[in-house]
């Protein structure tokens, strides 16, 4: 849009709304490279979270460009919706996946590359066609006149959305709701039936019905030793069987030898690099 304005400066002099002011030009030449850098960074960043952050940079630059283009509502909605909600959900999922997980290079979809090339070329064709049309056929008008009529920018957008573009608007919201409901159906787990999680109340009642309402005895740590494998002793000196850890009791002795050695101080010496965080 702005490049078209810049290109057509000579014949647009008489229309005041279309002239590019110095501030506008400066903000374009600052934000344009930033947006481009963000897009490239997103493609080439190794880390998924870094990639997402580069994309955030692009979206923010675009949002500010909208504001400079006399569309403040669009600009702030871009920031709230895209950077605030959508990219935040992206980050949420990336963090759940974990910071060290990387993409698998095995292709699971057959013909993926071919399809990507075909669709990419098609998309590039669409973009080039629309940009070339915007640069040649369309006469830029600017929003200054529109923003002063009928209650300004926000009111005009609202009116257009709910009169001329009502059907596409409702269609889009139906699409989004379908996607949300689909996600919920996929993620739904039953609260009733066999594998339902017991509620806090059910657990308490179960415990009170059973033969031990209190908690199990802890291990004998600090009574005679500081190992969790130490059983607790009953007043008559016998071992309290509930205090034995199932995990430790079923583990083969050889697997615990290192731990035992470390606890008893007969293991290897501490690593000299341990505090510096270098792997030895």
Q: Which residues bind another protein (CB under 8 A)?
A: 47, 49-50, 53, 56, 72-73, 76-77, 79-80, 83-85, 88-89, 91-92, 95-96, 99, 147, 151-154, 201, 204-205, 208-209, 277
Identity of the residue, 67 or 244, whose beta carbon is nearer to another protein in the bound complex: 67
In 3D space, the residue among 125, 139, 128 whose CA is nearest the CA of residue 4 turns out to be 139
Identity of the residue, 143 or 248, whose beta carbon is nearer to another protein in the bound complex: 143
Q: Minimum distance from CB of 231 to another protein (Å)?
A: 30
In 3D space, the residue among 239, 60, 74 whose CA is nearest the CA of residue 146 turns out to be 74
Identity of the residue, 95 or 127, whose beta carbon is nearer to another protein in the bound complex: 95
Question: Given CA atoms 5, 10, 12, 13 in this order, what sign does their dihedral have?
Answer: positive
Q: Minimum distance from CB of 188 to another protein (Å)?
A: 15
Q: Minimum distance from CB of 96 to another protein (Å)?
A: 7
Q: How far is CA 265 from CA 36, 123, 258, 269, in A?
A: 59, 67, 11, 9
CB 91 within 8 A of CB 49: yes
Q: Minimum distance from CB of 138 to another protein (Å)?
A: 26
- What does the block give as tokens for 223? 């009574």
- Tell me if residue 128 falls in helix, strand or coil: helix
Q: Minimum distance from CB of 63 to another protein (Å)?
A: 8
Identity of the residue, 77 or 221, whose beta carbon is nearer to another protein in the bound complex: 77
Show Cβ contacts of residue 70 under 8 Å, excluding neighbours closer than 6 positions: 142, 143, 144, 147, 153
Identity of the residue, 106 or 275, whose beta carbon is nearer to another protein in the bound complex: 275
CB 135 within 8 A of CB 7: yes
């Amino acid at each position: 849009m702005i490049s078209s304005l810049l290109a057509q400066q000579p014949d647009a002099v008489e229309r005041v709304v279309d002239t590019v002011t110095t501030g506008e030009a400066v903000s374009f030449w600052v934000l344009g490279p930033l947006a481009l850098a963000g897009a490239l960074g997103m493609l080439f960043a190794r880390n998924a979270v870094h990639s997402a952050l580069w994309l955030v940079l692009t979206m923010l630059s675009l949002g500010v460009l909208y504001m400079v283009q006399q569309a403040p509502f669009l600009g702030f909605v871009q920031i709230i919706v895209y950077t605030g909600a959508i990219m935040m959900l992206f980050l949420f999922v990336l963090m759940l996946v974990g910071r060290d997980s990387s993409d698998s290079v095995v292709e699971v979809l057959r013909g993926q590359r071919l399809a990507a090339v075909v669709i990419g070329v098609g998309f590039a064709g669409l973009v080039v066609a629309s940009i070339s049309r915007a640069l040649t056929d369309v006469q830029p008008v600017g929003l200054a006149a529109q923003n002063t009529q009928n209650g300004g920018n926000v009111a005009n957008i609202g009116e257009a959305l709910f009169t001329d573009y009502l059907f596409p608007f409702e269609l889009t919201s139906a699409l989004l709701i379908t996607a949300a409901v689909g996600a919920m159906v996929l993620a739904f787990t039953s609260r009733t039936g066999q594998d339902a999680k017991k509620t806090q109340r059910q657990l308490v009642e179960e415990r009170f019905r059973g033969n031990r309402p209190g908690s199990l005895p802890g291990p004998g740590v600090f009574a005679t030793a500081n190992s969790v494998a130490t059983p607790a002793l009953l007043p008559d000196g016998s071992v309290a069987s509930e205090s034995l850890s199932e995990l430790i009791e079923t583990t083969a002795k050889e697997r615990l030898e290192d731990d035992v050695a470390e606890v008893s101080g007969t293991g290897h010496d501490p690593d000299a690099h341990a505090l510096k965080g270098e792997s030895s």
